Amino acid sequence: MMELRVYSWIIVFLLSTYVATSKELTCEDFHCRNNECSESGECLQGCMDGFIVDDEGHCVEGCTGNCSICDNGICRDCRSGYFGLLCSQLCSGCQNGSCEKYDGKCVNGCREGFKNPPFCDVTDAAYNKKQMDDEEERVRGFFIWIAGTIILSIIFAIIIMIVAVVLQRSRTPDEPSAERLYREGNDVTEIV
């Protein structure tokens, strides 16, 4: 029994030492963008700036193949057609594929089929769809406004009719008052 207590104290001591010295790894330790990763450490939204995904799927310091000048894992310049800190974003809508390295603004304007200068990041199809959605929303809003106006007008007309009927009944008694008084006194005589 004494041995069991000694072993229990040793186990408790070892566990408390392990817990005190161990650190749970976080997504930040794996260099994941927005600190989002799976339990195995795989980054769900890619790597933080300055890191790339290696062959094993982990984020390591380095430059992408789109980087034209790499200095100690930091991309200093992008190949033509790319921009961003790691040169991972494509200048897809720019004329001649050329854009500014840091913000992606197109140097020579938009190529055919793209809009939203200076970034040229919206295709004509997406632009036209947005325009159609906006127009549908305006038409829907207009019809809702008309329906609301008609309903309110009908309610207002009903209220006016009810008020008119109530006022009419309160002004017009069932019989003239002089005739009613005479009948109460004498059922035979009638006032002309």
**pLDDT at residue 20, rounded to an integer:** 43
**pLDDT at residue 79, rounded to an integer:** 87
**pLDDT at residue 50, rounded to an integer:** 67
Q: Could you report the per-residue pLDDT of 155-187, keeping only the tens digit for each? A: 999 999 999 888 888 876 555 555 555 555 555
Residue 39 confidence (pLDDT) above 90: no
Q: For residues 114 and 1, give the distance between their C-alpha atoms in angstroms, rounded to a whole number.
A: 81
The answer for residues whose C-beta is within 8 angstroms of residue 57's C-beta and 6 or more apart is: 42
Instruction: Please give the C-alpha separations between residue 48 and each of 13, 36, 148, 150, in angstroms, as whole numbers.
Output: 39, 10, 52, 57
**What is the length of the chain?**
192
Q: Could you report the per-residue pLDDT of 93-151, keeping only the tens digit for each? A: 898 888 988 888 999 999 888 888 888 887 767 666 676 777 788 878 888 888 889 99
Concatenate the DSSP letters of all residues of 67-91 into one string.
Answer: EEEEETTEEEEEPTTEESTTS-EE-
**Domain regions of the chain by residue span:** 22-61, 126-175
